[in-house]
Structure 1
Amino acid sequence: MNKIMMTVTLMLAMVISVFAQDKPVESETNQKRNEIDRKIYQLALRYNDLAVARMKLFELIERNPTNITYPETLISLYFEAGQYTSAAVSALDVLEMNDKSLIALEVAANSLEQLGALDKALPNFERHYLLTNNLFSLYKTAYMQYSLNRQDEALNSINMLVKAPKSTEEKVGFPKIDNTTQEVSLKAAALNLKGMVYMYQKNKAEAITALNQALEIQADFELAIENLKEVNKM
């Protein structure tokens, strides 16, 4: 979850930075009102008054219906506030305006996952990966496929991730027994997930191989250690 929040926070910062660079041309009538609302929005964020910030975004959206910057910012605010239903619905609305909005795809995917709608989250993770080559989205794609019992698809996604050179560099967090978070490489995470797929398929030998490969990369990977103990009981 920490990685998700950091990603969306970064997206939100990027969106805010282009507020003054509205791509659609503003009419003279709207220009001054937009400028005032943007200033109030920034001040509301500074004071952590999200209700006022959202209200100003709604006004900017209504006044500038073709400017996708404002609804993209709104969905990021919903997600950061943990309002996953609002984030998901508004992100899907943005995708109807622009199905290549990376912010909307990521917010929709992660919000729908938080709501337990994995079948709806999966295509958004898949599309986000296809548009960005983001390895975290590929990992989430594989995990969604595993969770939805689409094991062959999961193995295909896992193998793609394991082969990606940067999978050894990028990290993902896992909860530990002591309630702390352990950072492991995406490659080790993918191999652990591969072991879980084979565990589900009752393929003990392949599960042990995958989990041992994960532990070769990171010997203290707690979840892989626990999964290996479970496999040995099979």
Structure 2
Amino acid sequence: MDALAINPENTGALEIIAVSYENLGLKDKALDNFEKLYLETDDFQTLYRMAFLQYDLEKYLQCSTNIDILMQAPEAAEATASYTFEEEEKEFSIKVPLINLKGLVNVAQGNNDLARQNFEEALQLAPDFILAQQNLDDLNK
């Protein structure tokens, strides 16, 4: 039987469904389920995933709002994100990819000056965060 049909608030099942949809590339369905999960759990990592999905789905206002919420959350002071560059995994303060994402949102909305500031801020926090450097280079072309 469907676990959610029996217990619609089953957060474990919601997370499995959301991640499965995301892995299948069904980002809109993944986002819907992550939103349901977030409403049940108020989980920092869930909101983090939602922000990136919202960017991918061009929901820039929601993405930007969630970035602001994440940046102000107490968890942001300690949380990290792992990224692999050239087969080497590195951990960064969660703020670095969030600031970079804010820059991408600003690029998408035509706010190139703000985007440049975001990418530069991300690089000030983590000079070896290659994505911010690549985004800044692309912006300066």
Determine if the TM-score, normalized by the shorter chain, exceeds 0.5. yes
| Residue in structure 1 matching 2:117, options 199, 202, 209 | 209
Paired AA for residue 163 in structure 1: Q
Partners of 1:195 and 1:141 in 2: how far apart? 17
- The 3-state SS of whatever aligns with 2:82 is strand
1:117 maps onto 2:26 in alignment: yes
**TM-score, normalised on structure 2?**
0.91
Alpha-carbon separation, structure 2, partners of 1:106 and 1:96: 15
The answer as to 2:97 corresponding to 1:186 is no
TM-aligned CA deviation for residue 94 of structure 1: 1.6
Cα distance in 2 for partners of 1:193, 1:118 equals 17
Q: Residues of 2 paired with 1:99 and 1:185: CA distance?
A: 34
Aligned partners of 1:206, 1:113: CA distance in 2, in Å?
29
Q: 1:129: how far off?
A: 2.2
Give distance in 1, aligned partners of 2:68 and 2:22. Answer: 23
Query: Which is greater in Rg?
Result: 1
In 2, Cα distance between equivalents of 1:171 and 1:208:
23
Structure 2 CA distance for aligned equivalents of residues 135 and 148 of structure 1: 20
SS in 2 for 1:182: strand
Instruction: Name the SS of the counterpart of 1:99 in structure 2.
Output: coil
RMSD across aligned positions (CA): 1.5
Higher helix share: 1
- Segments of 5+ residues of structure 1 without an aligned counterpart are 1-64, 66-92
Report the Cα offset of residue 128 of structure 1: 2.0
Match in the other structure for 1:149: 58
Q: Return 5+ residue gaps in structure 2 as ranges.
A: none
1:222 aligns with 2:130: yes
Q: Which has the higher contact order (CA 8 A, sep 6+)?
A: 2
Cα pair 1:139 1:186 within 8 Å, conserved: no
For residue 163 of structure 1, the aligned residue among 55, 63, 72 is 72
Structure whose residues are more often strand by fraction: 2
Runs of 4+ in structure 1 off by over 3 angstroms are none
Equivalent residues, number: 141
DSSP-derived class of the 1:219 partner: coil
Q: Would you say the 8 A contact 1:136–1:186 is kept in 2?
A: no
Identity of aligned residues (%): 38
Equivalent residue, structure 2, for 1:108: 17
Q: How does 1:41-56 map to 2 (within 5 A)?
A: none
1:2-41 alpha-carbon deviations (Å, 9 max, x no partner) = xxxxxxxxxxxxxxxxxxxxxxxxxxxxxxxxxxxxxxxx
Distance (whole Å) between structure 2 residues aligned to residue 130 and residue 169 of structure 1: 23
